[in-house]
Chains A and B, each alone.
Chain A
Amino acid sequence: MKQQKSNTTHEASFRDPSGYMFYDGDALRRQVNPIYFKQYHALKEQGIFKTLIKNKLLIAHQETAVSDDGIVITPEPIPFITNPYEWSFEQYKHAALHTLQVHKFALSKGFILKDASAYNITFHKGKPIFIDTLSFDFYKEGEPWRAYKQFITHFFGPLVLAKHHGAKVFQMMQTHIDGIPMDLIASMLPSKTKLSPTLYTNIHLLAKAEGKHNKDYKAETKTVSLSLKAQNNIIDSLFDYIKKLSIEETTEWGDYYTKTNYEKAAFANKAAIIKEWVSEEQPKKLIDVGGNDGTFAREVLPTVPDVLVTDIDPEAVGQNYKLAIKNKEQNMLAFVCDVLQPAPGIGFNNTERDSLITRLQNYAPDVTMALALIHHITLSGNVPFVKSAQFFASFSHTLLIEFPKREDTWVASLLMRKREFIQHFDFYNEAEFEAGYGKLFTIEKKIAVAGTERVMYLMKRK
């Protein structure tokens, strides 16, 4: 299942001439080109890397090879990379604040972040981490921040848009790999935002200035000077503003577990089955697809070293993320995913950022859980059983799946919404489900969840 990746350059790192990522067998390493030696040595010798790594701002690395043609560093492996369009509001916000912290620290030591791409951050051990070790450069006296606009289009703009339109605007990062265009950000904001000094200057004025100078084909390299103090003011004020940003969204599920048909005993029965079956598999990696705020994944969290939980609802993902921080869980990674439209491969050649399926195939979870999900895929998405079976089979060999019967209140409600087409969904029953999944999986276990109209299955890919 795993893709052959030995000695190939990583598709995401061709832009920066300072170096590139490559696969050495299964290990992902980073080549530092001679053009970046000066910066690299300065960062290393002045202890910048060390402090950043110690403070968990930058991913740790080992220098594994040194020659005149290049230095090879091997970063600590990150099991699964999530991209900005898969983050909840809280995650996005923390990623932005994290970037500013890194830049501010670099500035205090005579360096800058030369780019502020949202892809420089991912989530690892429950927190954001800066992963592009070669993103630093020397600060030049009086030089404005070259990555300023990038920070606005990758972080500040999307966050402010999310405040007004909800976390679903982060999806726009899928179609704009270089950040949401300035004019689009400005035009999507209500005009009252012009009254805020921070939003007026950092967004509306910037969009205007960019619009004016975009048509400048002379490619002027006008030198503008900005003091260090002034630059610090910009980033301090952005930090303060972002820190206070919040969104009011009512979640799709919200208090799902209180409003659904779960009774305490039924909930406990389901949890017991999950715990027993998962522990028998002894998985190292597990994914819960449609796992809401991680309630059921937490039942097995202490015994599984690495757990991913996805949900379509950014609010549920945000709650999961906050809970993981509160509980200091390092093995829980929450991200947003719509099973009916998983993140595609994007960027140049469609390979710069891998599709969700490719990433899941490389991650190769030992167990995949899909609890209370199949009725949504089948009835809301009109996806035939064999099709959804293909989806799960594409990245997992062990599937723990829950099938809510027609008598389940959720299913009944979804069926009711079909109105006069309800008879088209007569196939939604246990026998058809087993026949569809049976084409790709062997059903090893089956048990009814006592106190519910639901059945649990454990299946192995054929």
Chain B
Amino acid sequence: MYFLYFDPGLGAMIIQGLVAFAAGILLFSKGVMYKIKGLFGLNKEEEDTYDSIDIDQTDDDEATEK
């Protein structure tokens, strides 16, 4: 159950499939480009505090228990 204290927007709910479809194609082509560039050694490593959307979980207790 969700506590909806704001309007998520019906339109916004409906079009997410389309948005995801476009995003999927983009991410796929980006991945392909990355691999092609990699073959020629053209990939630049960027330095930023927000480099990746995935957070580092390696130092979790959960991970060390395994």
A residues sitting closer than 8 Å to B (CB atoms) are 15-18, 35-36, 47, 50-51, 54-55, 57, 93-94, 97-98, 100-101, 104-105, 114-115, 127, 137, 144-150, 152, 178, 182, 197-198, 200-202, 205-206, 208-214, 216, 220, 222, 224-227, 230-231, 233-240, 243, 325
B25 shortest CB reach to chain A, Å: 7
The reply to whether A211 and B11 contact each other, CB–CB distance below 8 Å, is yes
The reply to whether A202 and B19 contact each other, CB–CB distance below 8 Å, is yes
A238 to B62, CA, bound (A): 29
The reply to whether A240 and B10 contact each other, CB–CB distance below 8 Å, is no
Contact of A243 among B16, B17, B48 (CB under 8 A): B48
Closest B residue to A15 by CB, please name it.
Answer: B5
The reply to whether A236 and B23 contact each other, CB–CB distance below 8 Å, is yes
Known: A144-B16, A233-B23. A216 touches B10 (CB 8 A): yes
Closest A residue to B57 by CB, please name it.
Answer: A51
The reply to whether B60 and A226 contact each other, CB–CB distance below 8 Å, is no
The reply to whether A222 and B10 contact each other, CB–CB distance below 8 Å, is yes
Sample 15 A-B pairs with CB under 8 A, ordered by A number: A15-B5, A16-B5, A47-B61, A54-B60, A104-B53, A146-B4, A206-B15, A209-B11, A209-B15, A213-B10, A213-B14, A225-B17, A230-B17, A230-B24, A236-B27
Known: A209-B12, A209-B14, A243-B48. A231 touches B20 (CB 8 A): yes
B residues sitting closer than 8 Å to A (CB atoms) are 2-6, 8-27, 30, 48-51, 53-57, 59-62
The reply to whether B56 and A55 contact each other, CB–CB distance below 8 Å, is yes
Contact of B13 among A18, A144, A201, A233 (CB under 8 A): A144
The reply to whether A201 and B23 contact each other, CB–CB distance below 8 Å, is yes
The reply to whether A201 and B50 contact each other, CB–CB distance below 8 Å, is no
A83 to B42, CA, bound (A): 40
The reply to whether B11 and A237 contact each other, CB–CB distance below 8 Å, is no
The reply to whether B11 and A137 contact each other, CB–CB distance below 8 Å, is no
The reply to whether A150 and B6 contact each other, CB–CB distance below 8 Å, is yes
CB-CB < 8 A to B50: which residues of A? 93-94, 97-98, 101, 243
A102 shortest CB reach to chain B, Å: 9
Contact of A205 among B10, B19, B23 (CB under 8 A): B19
CB-CB < 8 A to B6: which residues of A? 15, 115, 150, 178
CB-CB < 8 A to B26: which residues of A? 197-198, 237
A152 to B8, CA, bound (A): 11
Known: A198-B22, A201-B23. A231 touches B49 (CB 8 A): no
CB-CB < 8 A to B30: which residues of A? 240
A220 to B10, CA, bound (A): 8
A114 to B1, CA, bound (A): 11
The reply to whether B23 and A234 contact each other, CB–CB distance below 8 Å, is yes
A220 to B3, CA, bound (A): 17
A148 to B11, CA, bound (A): 11
For the complex of A and B, 9 pairs with smallest distance between CB atoms: A209-B11, A230-B20, A149-B12, A237-B23, A210-B11, A97-B50, A213-B11, A146-B8, A213-B10
CB-CB < 8 A to A182: which residues of B? 9
Contact of A222 among B2, B13, B15 (CB under 8 A): B13
A66 shortest CB reach to chain B, Å: 21
The reply to whether B19 and A234 contact each other, CB–CB distance below 8 Å, is yes
A144 to B56, CA, bound (A): 26
A231 to B17, CA, bound (A): 8
Contact of A233 among B12, B27, B55 (CB under 8 A): B27
Closest B residue to A145 by CB, please name it.
Answer: B16
CB-CB < 8 A to B11: which residues of A? 149, 206, 208-214
B14 shortest CB reach to chain A, Å: 5
8 further contact pairs, Cβ within 8 A, besides A51-B57, A212-B11, A230-B17: A47-B61, A97-B53, A197-B26, A206-B11, A233-B27, A235-B53, A236-B23, A240-B27
